[in-house]
Structure 1
Amino acid sequence: MPVPILSTRDLTKTYGRGPDRFDALRGVSLEIDRGDSVAIVGKSGSGKSTLMHLLALLDTPGGGSVHVEGTDARSLSGRRLNALRNQMFGFVFQQFFLNHATTVLDNVVLPLKIAGMGARERRARGMAVLEQLELADKARNKAGNLSGGQKQRVVIARALANNPRVLFADEPTGNLDSATGRIVEDILFDLNQNHGITLITVTHDHDLAARFNRRVYIRDGQLITTDEEHAA
């Protein structure tokens, strides 16, 4: 049996103490295979974004474990953990988190600069992903001058700059009109279906979730793993 690219076992996460204690996740076990597309679906406060942050190694669990290709993330030092996250994962968030005062290309290559890649290679890699997303003509534009759909495509380009194997997207169309959102969705599914990138998206949009190979529903920090159970 192939080893899942990501898996969790009995994952828990708690915030606060005493009367302010909030159990965001309560014993979540999940496996995600290479090349899969998975929608994590739930209402606000259900724990879906907490789960994504733990899968992406952006936070540490209170209990349980996260495994990346069979390796327990707890066994990785801070430097190794950061390197793994930078090399394997790309991130697309609802809030664009772009520096509006710098160029589109500068925004796209920022992760590569952090990783220590040379300027010439950074530029070549950045221009390649901008070409892929039909934004090469905007490379020198200030990011703040773009439309919402263009900004989200820049965010996707930035996520692709390090050739990730897993792309995490948190409500990626939440700030977009329906037509622009559909274009962004099509880009994400093309990356999954035609480029083999594992796609993990957090959403409360059931129409978007329906396009994924798998839907995992979360309620009160616990998973309902099938559409049938969710409907019940």
Structure 2
Amino acid sequence: MSTPILQVSGLRKTYGRGQNRFEALRGVSLDIGEGESLAIVGKSGSGKSTLMHLLALLDVPDSGRILLEGNDTAGLRGARLNRTRNKTFGFVFQQFFLTGKDSVVENVVLPLKIAGVGRRERRRRGLAALEQLDLADKAGNKALDLSGGQKQRVVIARALVNNPRIIFADEPTGNLDTATGSVVEDILFTLNREHGITLVIVTHDDDLAARCDRRVVIRDGILVEELAVTEARA
């Protein structure tokens, strides 16, 4: 069996001190296979977003280990951490985090700019990503002029521009109507199944979770349930 692309063991994370101390994660262990689609499900405050932030190396645990392709990430710092995150992960959040006055293509190529890719190559790859999302005709438009669904497709294009191994999506359809949300879901699962990109979705939406290969449930910072979707539907 191949090494999981992500392995975490005994993750603990606490915020605050004294009476305000809150244990967000309490010893979570989890393996994620390459090319898998995984839903992390839980109520608000359950710890699911904290887990995603740790998996994506956006935060560090108080204790426990995170292995990326079998390599311990604890030693990653500064520029090395940023390079690893930038080339390995793509991010799709409920909030679009687009710069409204910049053009669509300028928003898409931001990870490439951070990575030091030259202007001409940035534009080429940015336009290619927009073409993949049927948004090439909007490349020169201001981001603020787009609809909600178009903005989320721009966010997915930005997530794709660095050819990531893993896409993390935190409530990716939370700000969209049902029809538009379904389109965005279809795009994400097509990228997973046709391009082999590992997809990790944080959601409280059971219908969205049911589209994934596997679902894990977080409750009060503890992994309480882990099901293949076929088991969950039984």
Change (3 A) 1:230 1:192: closer
Superposition deviation, residue 18 in structure 1: 1.3
> Equivalent residue for 2:141?
141
Superposition deviation, residue 19 in structure 1: 1.1
CA distance in 1, matches of 2:180, 2:116: 34
Structure 2 alignment gaps of length 5 or more: none
Over the residues paired in the alignment, what is the CA RMSD in angstroms? 1.4
The within-5 A match list for 1:159-178 is: 159-178=159-178
CA distance in 1, matches of 2:63, 2:17: 16
Alpha-carbon displacement from aligned partner over 1:19-63 (angstroms, at most 9, x marks no partner): 111000000000001000000000000000000000000000011
Superposition deviation, residue 230 in structure 1: 8.4
TM-score, scaled relative to structure 1? 0.97
Could you say what secondary structure the match of 2:74 adopts?
A: helix
> Equivalent residue for 1:157?
157
Instruction: Kindly indicate whether residue 199 of structure 2 is the aligned counterpart of residue 199 of structure 1.
Output: yes
CA distance in 1, matches of 2:57, 2:158: 18
Could you say what secondary structure the match of 2:200 adopts?
A: strand
1:178 maps to a residue whose letter is T
Superposition deviation, residue 129 in structure 1: 0.6
Superposition deviation, residue 183 in structure 1: 0.1
Alpha-carbon displacement from aligned partner over 1:66-98 (angstroms, at most 9, x marks no partner): 110011111223221111100000000000000
> Equivalent residue for 1:218?
218
Q: Aligned residues: percent identity?
A: 69
Change (3 A) 1:10 1:230: farther
CA distance in 2, matches of 1:152, 1:188: 11
CA distance in 1, matches of 2:167, 2:115: 18
> Equivalent residue for 2:110?
110
CA distance in 2, matches of 1:164, 1:224: 29
TM-score, scaled relative to structure 2? 0.96
Instruction: Kindly indicate whether residue 59 of structure 2 is the aligned counterpart of residue 59 of structure 1.
Output: yes
The within-5 A match list for 1:1-232 is: 1-227=1-227
1:223 maps to a residue whose letter is L
Could you say what secondary structure the match of 1:216 adopts?
A: strand
2:63 maps to a residue whose letter is G
CA distance in 2, matches of 1:76, 1:181: 35
Runs of 4+ off more than 6 Å: 228-231
Structure 1 alignment gaps of length 5 or more: none
1:218 maps to a residue whose letter is I
